[in-house]
A and B are shown apart, each in its own frame.
Chain A
Amino acid sequence: MRPIKKQRLLLIALMLAGIGGAAAFALKSFNENLMYFFSTTDVVSGKAPGDALIRIGGMVVNGSVERPGDSLLVRFKLTDFNRDVPVEYTGILPDLFREGQGIIAKGRLNGQGTFIAEEVLAKHDENYMPPEVAATLKPDTQNNAQ
């Protein structure tokens, strides 16, 4: 083999090894960081995994928001108008968080079925409802209409 071809081959081999390594690493990291979305009914009926980081969505139940004590702890209930899930969050809520608004929370379930949120998202638009939340609510509104 001519030296130039040998070098070219070496370059290609190096690159394939690099890309292969990157791909393996990427897929591993990808699997670890997939977050599934669940409706509140899913959570109550036990479809959501107990320990994994997940996202849940729903409407904030009217009159359910309370701030016990002097800390930044907030408790509220999320609903898809079928089942409710109690949520706890410590921190500052987004501007558009309010009762009756559709939100998404990211976090984990604890042993008692309470969702411990690490992050609460509300969209910056007054009429907005996250598509995931809208989808979980839709079958229900149809039932109401009938």
Chain B
Amino acid sequence: MIAELGHFSLILALCLAFILGVVPVIGSLRAIPGWIMLARPAAFGQVFFVALAYGCLTYTFISHDFSVAYVAQNSNTELPLLYRISGVWAAHEGSLLLWALILSCWTGLVARFSQTIPEPVIARVLGVMGLISIGFLLFLLLTSNPFERLIPAPAEGRDLNPLLQDPGLAIHPPMLYMGYVGFSVAFAFAIAALLEGRLDSAWARWSRPWTNIAWMFLTLGIALGSWWAYYELGWGGWWFWDPVENASFMPWLIGTALIHSLAATEKRGAFKTWTVLLAIFAFSLSLLGTFLVRSGVLTSVHAFATDPARGLFILVFLAIVIGGSLFLYALRAPHVRSTATFELISRESALLINNVLLVVTAATILLGTLYPLVIDALGLGKLSVGPPYFNALFIPLMAPLAVIVGLGMLLRWKKDDLSAIAARIRWLALISVAVGCLLPLLMPFYSWAAALGLTLALWTLAITGLAFFDRLGRKQPVWTRLLKLPGAFYGMTVAHLGIAVFIVGITLTSVYSVERDVRMTPGDKLDMAGYIFEFHGVSQTRGPNYDASQGHVTVSYQDRPVAELRPQKRIYRVRKMPMTEAAIEAGLFRDLFVAIGEPLGDSGAWSLRIYYKAFIRWIWLGAIFMALGGLLAAFDRRYQTLSNKQALTDV
């Protein structure tokens, strides 16, 4: 009964999406006030019915209703409550429902927090989001209905994939989707502006806070995925250039370019058409990411059992969204005249270089990710592109970006004087290089890669600091000045500090980590970077829905005990699936990572994976800083007051 209620409300939501996607858009183009006013109620109604459907599916999970096929495949009576809730988005159907829910929530939020934006504009924006929603709800109802019944109902479910039974992964998909789908807001604003044919800086101002929030969620989602892969997959790496990771990283890169380009468009009216194009691409790549991950084209932990009808549907949907929006762009963009001028040495130039670097990086990743798929589809053979390709490109493209990050903040809009800037920063540059080259001397061995990374990080830190104190000024007491700084400026500062932290993390982790796979018998010791790991053997233990072999390893440093680690090898009872559960002693400067492999012979010997990971936490710490920056920038008070003014002038 509950499942049918969910199914029914999903159909009602689709009807509302049709109303939302058609009526207000036509109303705004023909100036029919009644049709325009329909946008908000339709958006709120859609939220209600999708949320109701989502609630119904969650209820069937919690109440173990195995007569629903999706629940039977992904749950079990032994499954803890948390994973019954997160199990809703564990597989294809439910994760699409989550996508639709998040999309309608974003639509509802735009409808709620847009009182200051002219009605016809908001009607078009909500209409575009409604059109996207039609696509996803149709996809759900036609090919991937999560409420399908399984008659007769099995007595027991097949259990959730053990890999997904983890708190980190429970929140990873919602975060990621909040980011992906959040870019639909910038996309909708851009398309609405194109429809109207008026590409001024107003649309940029309206979409900036939304884009920042979406970007923040995407940053957190990717960081969570990376963290999860690190401790759960048992490989101890943090990024694998796996196609699925790339699928989330490409929208992030374009989204990063977009938030910078939006700044130039809003403040200076520069790059108007380019910004629109970025908004289209950011969302298109989010859709492509969803398609790549969910269609089963890719070999990965995320790809679910496939059905050709689904793949075809998404492909057509992608073609309509990307093709349609690019067509509209081609029609309207030539008529937009950019009035903004700027000189070679200006903040606009720095932002332009930032954009080019980010877009080129995204393009190279796209090439490496799609090329094998295209070759395979053409029947020309099966191949894959190895991680060295991505590493070889990513570093040379990102290092100049790190240099530019600082400069962009110091440069003035429109025109600046290079020699004046150079005079101000040369000492900071010199100190960054000197300290950056000296710091690796404190490490176990000297590395030029580490020196380069640390120099870039210090440079970013120094210039961000300089820009901050510049802006702070000297006139009033320091607290008054601190309070007066806009949120957007704090956001930028924190996010750029995040880049410095992130660079330190990736550089030192890749240079100074030590990784060993060894065979150990109880009583064996291993010395790694001064840490003595002693293996005490493996015993058996039981969890709520699994049995495990649990290793016991003690770690000491200079005869002081540091940690007791108990890595596990679990066998989940329902699926009989083995899972490695690494034990990690985390620290700001190093992680100690132990995972057990398999028993070797009869002497109690096991294969063990023992890692010393230098500075790895800094990678995720940097991502948290960046996300925090996005949040601070989004809640800048200025957006509120400016849009009020804009509304007044429009009236």
A residues whose Cβ falls under 8 Å from a Cβ of B: 4, 7-8, 10-11, 15, 18-19, 22, 25-26, 29-30, 32-37, 53, 55, 67, 70-72, 90-93, 95-96, 123-126, 130-132, 135
Other-chain residue from B384, B519, B598 in contact with A55 (beta carbon distance below 8 A): B384
Contact of B344 with A37 in the complex, beta carbons under 8 Å: no
Contact of A37 with B598 in the complex, beta carbons under 8 Å: no
Chain B residues with a Cβ closer than 8 Å to the other chain, count: 46
Contact of B519 with A72 in the complex, beta carbons under 8 Å: yes
Of B34-42, B319-327, B570-578, the one contacting chain A is B570-578
Chain B hits for A125, CB < 8 A: 161
CA gap between A111 and B63 in the complex, in Å: 60
Contact of A29 with B607 in the complex, beta carbons under 8 Å: no
Other-chain residue from B349, B364, B392, B578 in contact with A11 (beta carbon distance below 8 A): B349
Q: Please indicate which of the listed interface residues B371, B384, B575, B576 has the most CB atoms of chain A within 10 Å of its own CB.
A: B384
B341 interfacial by beta-carbon distance below 8 Å: yes
B234 interfacial by beta-carbon distance below 8 Å: yes
Contact of B517 with A91 in the complex, beta carbons under 8 Å: yes
Contact of B341 with A29 in the complex, beta carbons under 8 Å: no
In the complex, besides A72-B517, A72-B600, A131-B299, 13 extra interface pairs with C-beta distance below 8 angstroms are: A4-B341, A4-B343, A7-B344, A26-B364, A29-B389, A33-B389, A33-B392, A35-B386, A92-B595, A92-B598, A95-B234, A130-B299, A135-B382
Per-residue interface assignment for chain B, residues 331 to 370, with 1 indicating a CB less than 8 Å from any chain A CB and 0 otherwise: 0000000000101100001001100100010001001100
24 cross-chain CB contacts under 8 A = A4-B343, A8-B344, A11-B344, A19-B356, A19-B360, A26-B364, A26-B367, A32-B388, A32-B389, A35-B385, A35-B386, A70-B600, A71-B519, A72-B519, A72-B607, A92-B595, A92-B597, A92-B598, A95-B234, A95-B577, A96-B577, A123-B301, A130-B299, A132-B382
Q: Which 3 A-B pairs have the closest CB atoms?
A: A33-B389, A92-B597, A37-B382
Chain A hits for B609, CB < 8 A: 92
Contact of B383 with A96 in the complex, beta carbons under 8 Å: no
Contact of B519 with A30 in the complex, beta carbons under 8 Å: no
Chain A residue nearest in CB terms to B368? A30
Contact of A36 with B382 in the complex, beta carbons under 8 Å: yes
B393 interfacial by beta-carbon distance below 8 Å: yes
Other-chain residue from B349, B352, B577 in contact with A126 (beta carbon distance below 8 A): B577
Contact of A30 with B301 in the complex, beta carbons under 8 Å: no
Other-chain residue from A53, A67, A72, A95 in contact with B580 (beta carbon distance below 8 A): A95
**B564-618 residues at the A interface, CB under 8 angstroms:** 569, 575-580, 595, 597-598, 600-601, 607, 609
B308 interfacial by beta-carbon distance below 8 Å: no
Contact of A18 with B356 in the complex, beta carbons under 8 Å: yes
Per-residue interface assignment for chain B, residues 633 to 648, with 1 indicating a CB less than 8 Å from any chain A CB and 0 otherwise: 0000000000000000
Interface of B is mostly: mixed
Chain A hits for B69, CB < 8 A: none
B438 interfacial by beta-carbon distance below 8 Å: no
Other-chain residue from A15, A33, A132 in contact with B388 (beta carbon distance below 8 A): A33
B131 interfacial by beta-carbon distance below 8 Å: no
CA gap between A117 and B601 in the complex, in Å: 23
CA gap between A36 and B356 in the complex, in Å: 31
Per-residue interface assignment for chain B, residues 381 to 411, with 1 indicating a CB less than 8 Å from any chain A CB and 0 otherwise: 1111110110011001100000000000000
Contact of B344 with A10 in the complex, beta carbons under 8 Å: yes
Contact of A37 with B384 in the complex, beta carbons under 8 Å: yes
CA gap between A67 and B392 in the complex, in Å: 36
CA gap between A132 and B163 in the complex, in Å: 23
Shortest distance from the beta carbon of A91 to any chain B beta carbon, whole Å: 5
Shortest distance from the beta carbon of A15 to any chain B beta carbon, whole Å: 6
Per-residue interface assignment for chain B, residues 502 to 546, with 1 indicating a CB less than 8 Å from any chain A CB and 0 otherwise: 000000000000000111000000000000000000000000000
Contact of A37 with B343 in the complex, beta carbons under 8 Å: no
Shortest distance from the beta carbon of A23 to any chain B beta carbon, whole Å: 8
Shortest distance from the beta carbon of A72 to any chain B beta carbon, whole Å: 6
Contact of A29 with B386 in the complex, beta carbons under 8 Å: no
Chain A hits for B607, CB < 8 A: 72, 92
CA gap between A19 and B383 in the complex, in Å: 26
Contact of A37 with B577 in the complex, beta carbons under 8 Å: no
CA gap between A13 and B381 in the complex, in Å: 38
Chain A residue nearest in CB terms to B381? A36
Chain B hits for A34, CB < 8 A: 383-386
CA gap between A126 and B384 in the complex, in Å: 24
Chain A hits for B601, CB < 8 A: 67
Chain A hits for B371, CB < 8 A: 30
Contact of A33 with B385 in the complex, beta carbons under 8 Å: yes
CA gap between A35 and B600 in the complex, in Å: 32
Shortest distance from the beta carbon of B317 to any chain A beta carbon, whole Å: 23
Chain B hits for A19, CB < 8 A: 356, 360
Chain A residue nearest in CB terms to B608? A92
Other-chain residue from B341, B343, B518, B600 in contact with A67 (beta carbon distance below 8 A): B600
Chain B residue nearest in CB terms to A54? B383
Chain A hits for B382, CB < 8 A: 36-37, 132, 135
Chain A hits for B364, CB < 8 A: 22, 26
CA gap between A25 and B30 in the complex, in Å: 52
**B3-28 residues at the A interface, CB under 8 angstroms:** none
CA gap between A117 and B130 in the complex, in Å: 51
Shortest distance from the beta carbon of A4 to any chain B beta carbon, whole Å: 6
Chain B residue nearest in CB terms to A30? B389
Chain A hits for B344, CB < 8 A: 7-8, 10-11
Other-chain residue from B384, B518, B597 in contact with A35 (beta carbon distance below 8 A): B384
Chain A hits for B595, CB < 8 A: 92
Chain A hits for B517, CB < 8 A: 72, 90-92
Chain A hits for B368, CB < 8 A: 30
Chain B residue nearest in CB terms to A90? B517
Given contacts A33-B389, A123-B299, contact A25 B384 (CB under 8 A): no
CA gap between A131 and B306 in the complex, in Å: 11
